[in-house]
Structure 1
């Protein structure tokens, strides 16, 4: 069973667009929390991730990081296992 995938993002961020594209290409259902104009969500993102930039991506309770980290996991062959709930 796929763990929940959550991405804090903005509509206009090119890294958010790239991350969204990869997740959609893989057929992943994910919650996309748009933080523009939402100080509550921005604060929540910063507290959970320790970062201020978008996107910030979580698979289950695991913080993946941003777009570069998401693509690095994919290139290393580890993303599919995480998305399937079988990876570390």
Structure 2
């Protein structure tokens, strides 16, 4: 399912900004909840060309996915948790079937390399995103 950017931004800004005074364990559980409840999930940042490429590929495949757009300055706790989960600081961070698959071109191994090897579509089907 694709959620509206405004809704997600409001959710992320409220739940993960410093002004909400959430502790790290609560933010961890919220990120984990998103991962557990989304067959395909992309954490992106506004204006990022790599995030756009990854989302465009997911759209072309017809996959149902959830997007969480993050403001890195306002959502430091979420960024920190994603870094701990993925060992990366770059975006996008993409999960399929609760498994981190990397970013656009890089990571473990990245959404475009997976697609080029013919592995993305079966992975999306298995996760229930197609």
TM-score range, shorter chain: 0.7 to 0.9
Instruction: Provide the TM-score with structure 2 as the length reference.
Output: 0.60
CA RMSD of aligned residues (A): 1.4
Question: Which residue of 2 is the match for residue 54 of structure 1?
Answer: 91
* Structure 2 unaligned blocks of 5 or more: 1-37
Q: Decide which structure has greater helix share.
A: 2
| Regions of 4+ moved over 6 Å | none
Question: Which residue of 2 is the match for residue 81 of structure 1?
Answer: 122
* Structure 1 unaligned blocks of 5 or more: none
Q: Decide which structure has greater strand share.
A: 1
Higher relative contact order (CA 8 A, sep 6+): 1
Instruction: Provide the TM-score with structure 1 as the length reference.
Output: 0.87
Q: 1:41-84 CA deviation, whole Å, 9 max, x = no partner?
A: 21221122111000010101211001011111101000000000
